[in-house]
Structure 1
Amino acid sequence: MKKYTLISCLIFVSLVTFAQTEKVITDRPGKTLSPITVPKKWIQFESELSKQKDKLKEIGITDIYFRHPSLLTKFGLGKRLELRLITELATLKVKYTFDPPYIRTGIKTVQLGGKLNFLKEKGIRPEVSLIAHYDFHRLRTIYAGKDTLDGGNFRLAMQHTLSEKVEVGYNIGMEWEYFRYFKTAYTYTLSPKFTINEKWLAYIELFGYIWKKEKPENSIDAGFAYFINDNFKLDASAGFGINKKAPDNFFSIGASFRFKTNRSN
């Protein structure tokens, strides 16, 4: 018991102190990933609870997808390199017009990857990072069948600072649901962010997925974040699809915090 109390106290002290560092920078809310890496020897957690709904009228089905939670864990390996682990526990609910609903809960995502920052912002040149993950589909339990093929994804994350109050982030990348089938989705995001004051920021975002010989999926969302202190942030966001293939609506709430793993410089 004393051991867990000591660990809790150390985490609390880490969240309240270390004021000499800049505010925690996260990959949420929204889909636009930041090119900024976690400071060396810091660990950061970004958690989310969310709901997504998509009504398919032509076949009489409504898909409802809950994340409870999704967790991104990041660790700073160096000044420009971070290790990343994404885990997601989810519930899929399929509602039929005339039949009972299908409900299944389980592990939806286990991804391991990293972020490498290779360009700092200078003049008109944006800050740029490469972010990549390997998706272990074999570990998924939310679907009835057993996956035998894995997937992956990568993005180039970029950011321009327009003023002290405004910055624009944007991503381009590719995703593979299954490597062997090579069904590639091209991804994009565009998100201006606005600093309201020392505690509040807001954003609006356009994002989507594009496949060969298929209609794209485009959505828009907006949200805000509140800094409890430099190491602890809360956020909320909501959005909707702007074409037929995209989900009807979605919303999420999240909490992110970080702490240093040792006291030495």
Structure 2
Amino acid sequence: MKKFILIISFLSISNYAISQDLPSIQTDRPDQTECPFITPKGYLQFENGFSYEKIDGDSKSIVAPTILTKFGINDHFELRLITEYSIEKNNSSKISGINPVLIGFKTRLFEEKGIIPTTSFITHLGLPKLASSDLKATYYTPEFRFTMQHTISDRQTLSYNLGAEWSGVTLEPTFIYTLTTGYSFSEKIGGYIEFFGFIPQIEKPDHRFDGGLTYLFNPNHQLDVSAGFGLSKISPEYYFALGYSFRFKI
């Protein structure tokens, strides 16, 4: 038993030492703006979160947990898997279960050079039947976005996403936009503010604002907290979220 503990400790220390040659963990949470950076080759990364959303006076939505699993294939490509357990409540009903699982990838397109931002492309496909019975979708649910980031200074970045997603209920797309600025207060603490929204092809647009903080325990582990509110009549009233992300080499 002692030998087993020593082996596990040695592997953990070795993995941490190797990670020192890499940039600190880069995550797609807590903001709605996906980052353009790729998970390092051979690393498995988990981005886990809990969120509570007050839709209106009678309805609320809880996601506990949401898990984004990423695996780095090379410097330009990562595989992605999204799983969520959600609870939808109002005064008269409650629906809970696993949302349709999404599989996808991220690929790097451009490095930052002058006015050209660091740019990547992300896409997922939701599997309508790979879900709890009450939450199965009618159609496959593709989604995609281009994610871009400019370096403003050593401490500040400007990032934005443009894309579209399908709900699985209808065949009409909803267009997505995000705009966020991030700031590093120290080597461990960062923050952001963000505007983002959803523009359906038929219904009215849904615009929102949010902000949050991150705390880097070490290069491989990060805690985050965020909150936001709606700006449109059809938007949810508010939400808050808490997350924990980590990575390790396999």
Specify the TM-score bucket, using the shorter chain as the normaliser: over 0.9
Equivalent residue, structure 1, for 2:85: 89
Q: Which of residues 82, 88, 108 is equivalent to 1:117?
A: 108
Equivalent residue, structure 2, for 1:65: 61
Whole-Å separation in 1 of the counterparts to 2:98 and 2:11: 27
Report the CA distance between 1:242 and its aligned residue: 0.6
Alignment partner of 1:248 is 2:237: yes
TM-score between the two structures when normalised by the length of structure 2 = 0.93
Equivalent residue, structure 1, for 2:164: 174
| RMSD of aligned alpha carbons | 2.2
SS state at 1:202 partner:
strand
Whole-Å separation in 2 of the counterparts to 1:190 and 1:184: 20
Amino acid aligned to 1:141: S
Whole-Å separation in 2 of the counterparts to 1:3 and 1:70: 36
Contact 1:15 1:257 in 2 (8 A): no
Equivalent residue, structure 2, for 1:237: 226
TM-score between the two structures when normalised by the length of structure 1 = 0.88
Alignment partner of 1:156 is 2:146: yes
- Aligned sequence identity (%): 39
Equivalent positions of 1:72-221 (< 5 A) are: 72-95=68-91, 101-141=92-132, 143=134, 146-178=136-168, 181-221=170-210
Amino acid aligned to 2:165: E
Report the CA distance between 1:215 and its aligned residue: 1.0
SS state at 2:134 partner:
coil
SS state at 2:37 partner:
coil
Residues 7 and 121 (structure 1), Cα distance of their counterparts in 2 relative to 1, 3 Å cut: farther
Report the CA distance between 1:142 and its aligned residue: 6.3
Gaps of 5+ in 2: none
Whole-Å separation in 2 of the counterparts to 1:11 and 1:248: 46
Contact 2:65 2:85 in 1 (8 A): yes
SS state at 1:13 partner:
helix
Equivalent residue, structure 2, for 1:43: 44
Equivalent residue, structure 2, for 1:98: none
Deviation larger for 210-219 or 230-239 = 210-219
Report the CA distance between 1:141 and its aligned residue: 1.3
Contact 2:182 2:192 in 1 (8 A): yes
